[in-house]
Amino acid sequence: MKLILNTLALFAVLTSSAASAVEYRTVLPAKSAIGFSFSQMGVSIKGGFKRFVAQMVFDPAKPEAARAQIDIDLASIDAGSSEADEESAGRLWFNRSVYPRAQFVSSQIRPLGNNRYEMRGMLTLKGRSREMVVPVTFKPGKDAAIFDGAFVLKRLDFGVGEGMWADVATVANEVQVNFRIAARGK
């Protein structure tokens, strides 16, 4: 009898936690953002991308099964001025006529504790792919969860800013990328 009661109690605990689990799949674009900052001739420049599509599946109870993909429309750049936006389209920068978008696809999500995760994946930009390790913080909320992350991208690894722009004394090689993805659970 004791075995039956213990089994029923274990079943009740497992079912109650499964019933309260939330899987986040619906990204809320109006509450999400992708930004960047870098230094040009010693001056800090901030910008972002206005259009991107993020797809994700995340269950905090099963983070190892999570996945994410972000596609960024490079023509939606806001680099602080119309001249900079136009320059970024050219062959020396993004070469948008050949490579109109950047893409990140996760390959592994690892929990670090306290709602912090390490997301590994491939970033493809200007036809070049590199593995990235991105720290992400998860903040559950009543209406939506927030996923905040930031990482340093080395632009020359992707051939961004070639030719006369390759001099890192003019434009820093390190670009700080930050993002906020808001998602609703089901």
Question: Is residue 8's pLDDT more than 60?
Answer: no
- Say what the alpha-carbon torsion angle 170, 149, 27, 54 is, to the nearest 10 degrees: 50
Is there a domain that residue 15 lies in?
A: no
CA angle 62, 65, 68 (to 5 degrees): 120
Per residue in 38-54, pLDDT (tens digit) is 999 999 999 999 999 99
Is there a domain that residue 13 lies in?
A: no
For residue 19, the SS3 value is helix
pLDDT category of residue 183 using cuts at 50, 70 and 90: very high
Is there a domain that residue 12 lies in?
A: no
pTM: 0.85
Enclosing domain of residue 157:
22-185
Overall domain count for the chain: 1
The two structure tokens encoding residue 164: 């006369």
The CATH number linked to 66 is 2.40.128.110
Beta bridge partners of 27: 183
